[in-house]
Chains A and B, each alone.
Chain A
């Protein structure tokens, strides 16, 4: 994404380029749209939030003297009377990865000014995200029905519930916000706001397909966080 030229400035590759970019006048991130740079900074701060959650989970799980609930049993689903471990979580993982792939393609078609493909792919991403949130609602209600509470549960260590609801809840909140924006951007793409360079709300910035990449960064981040939650909370 960075093969552009900037007048009067030599873009050096690698670490030399990093030194000259950082030491140059004005912008440090050469050729990167300011919105994209800001989204990256936001995602960095969000990384710290989720890291704090996962690290406190590590500390809580490591220091309890009661056995931690066996996640592969707690999160199993019964299919025809046979318990299948982590079935719902596995499906949720695949749904989120699918939506991440459609988002990546939407960004690509957006830059190629292929309005229809871009719009349909963002819509597919939104539907995937909605499916994910729906399955999470099912998972939550199932666990609440089985007696899991933030202060205790019938399966083992009492801390399990509070970490589960906090970590997956915060992630699910991110997915929900993402789905809302995906639907808004579906409308904006189909309405041609990025071809006609229509200005957005709260900003004088003219519509540009780079906004799809910014939205994509957020959505891939949501998928990225799920990779870590899946590994540490469900599989560990």
Chain B
């Protein structure tokens, strides 16, 4: 009987979970607002080229990092969980790299056959 109870409730020790101070959440919330405002300003002032793309990526990764680290509590989780979640992202990075090469080839083929008219 005791065994089944244990199976059912393996996390008895978790009941007194510590909570973070409210200030952390309010700070992150405020920062997310400010960063979103900045990324909107990138479009408002019509920055172009590398400046535009690097600013967009910078604000995007900062926002994503803040949400994952503090709102989703990854900052306080054990590394066993954090690493299981973050390492698969390298596969996505590889995929982006591959498809980047792929679209350049497709673009080249289209220009070659549709615009130039082939060899």
Contacts and interface: CB of A to CB of B under 8 A. Distances in A.
Contacts of A63: 103-104, 106-107, 110
Interface SS of A by simple majority: helix
Contact of A30 (B40, B78, B100): B78
Contacts of A7: 13
B77 A44 contact: no
A18 B103 contact: no
Given A34-B10, A59-B99, A97-B36, A18 B43 contact: no
A31 B60 contact: no
A108 interface: yes
A59 B103 CA distance: 5
Contacts of A94: 33, 36
Interface string B75-119: 011111101110011001001100110111011001100110000
A59 B106 contact: yes
Contacts of A62: 100, 103-104, 106-107
A220 B67 contact: yes
Interface residues of B, number: 64
B39 to A, nearest CB: 6
A60 B87 CA distance: 27
Contacts of B32: 97, 100-101
Interface residues of A, number: 71
B56 A231 contact: yes
Interface stretch (A20-28, A137-145, A171-179): A20-28
Contact of A1 (B76, B96, B103, B114): B76
B79 A18 contact: yes
A44 B91 CA distance: 12
A30 B84 CA distance: 13
B54 to A, nearest CB: 12
A224 B78 contact: no
Nearest to B44: A85
Contacts of B57: 231
A146 B44 CA distance: 23
A63 B85 CA distance: 32
Given A27-B10, A63-B103, A228 B64 contact: yes
Interface in A48-84: 48, 51-52, 55-56, 58-60, 62-65, 72
A59 B110 CA distance: 13
A86 B78 contact: no
A85 B13 contact: no
A29 interface: yes
17 contacts: A1-B17, A2-B76, A4-B13, A4-B16, A21-B79, A29-B78, A34-B11, A44-B84, A63-B106, A63-B110, A85-B44, A86-B43, A97-B29, A101-B28, A105-B25, A205-B8, A216-B72
Interface of A: 1-7, 11, 14-15, 17-18, 21-22, 27-34, 37, 40, 44, 47-48, 51-52, 55-56, 58-60, 62-65, 72, 85-86, 90, 93-94, 97, 100-101, 103-105, 108, 111-112, 204-206, 210, 213, 216-217, 220-221, 223-224, 227-228, 230-231, 234-236
The 10 closest A-B pairs by CB, nearest first: A62-B103, A63-B106, A18-B79, A101-B29, A231-B60, A21-B80, A63-B103, A59-B103, A111-B19, A63-B107
